[in-house]
Amino acid sequence: MSASDEDFMRHAIALSRRGMESGAGGPFGAVVVLDGKVVAEGFNQVTSTNDPTAHAEVVAIRRACAALGRFDLRGATLYTSCEPCPMCLAASYWARLDAVVYANGQADAAAIGFDDAWLYREVATPVAQRALPMRRLLAAEALEVFADWTRKADRVPY
**Per-residue model confidence (pLDDT) at position 1:** 65
- The pLDDT profile of the chain, 158 residues, written as one tens digit per residue, is 678 999 999 999 999 999 999 999 999 999 999 999 999 999 999 999 999 999 999 999 999 999 999 999 999 999 999 999 999 999 999 999 999 999 999 999 999 999 999 999 999 999 999 999 999 999 999 999 999 999 999 999 88
**Per-residue model confidence (pLDDT) at position 100:** 98
**Per-residue model confidence (pLDDT) at position 88:** 98
Q: Residues 6, 57, 122, 144: which is the catalytic one?
A: 57
Beta carbons of 118 and 94 less than 8 angstroms apart:
no
All residues at 6 or more sequence positions from 78 whose CB lies less than 8 Å from its CB, including other chains: 30, 31, 32, 33, 57, 60, 61, 84, 92, 95, 97, 99, 100, 101
Nearest to 22 by CA among 41, 51, 45, 53: 45
CA 19 to chain centre: 17
**Per-residue model confidence (pLDDT) at position 2:** 78
57 is an active site residue = yes
Spatial distance between the Cα atoms of 16 and 78, rounded to a whole number of angstroms? 14
**Per-residue model confidence (pLDDT) at position 46:** 97
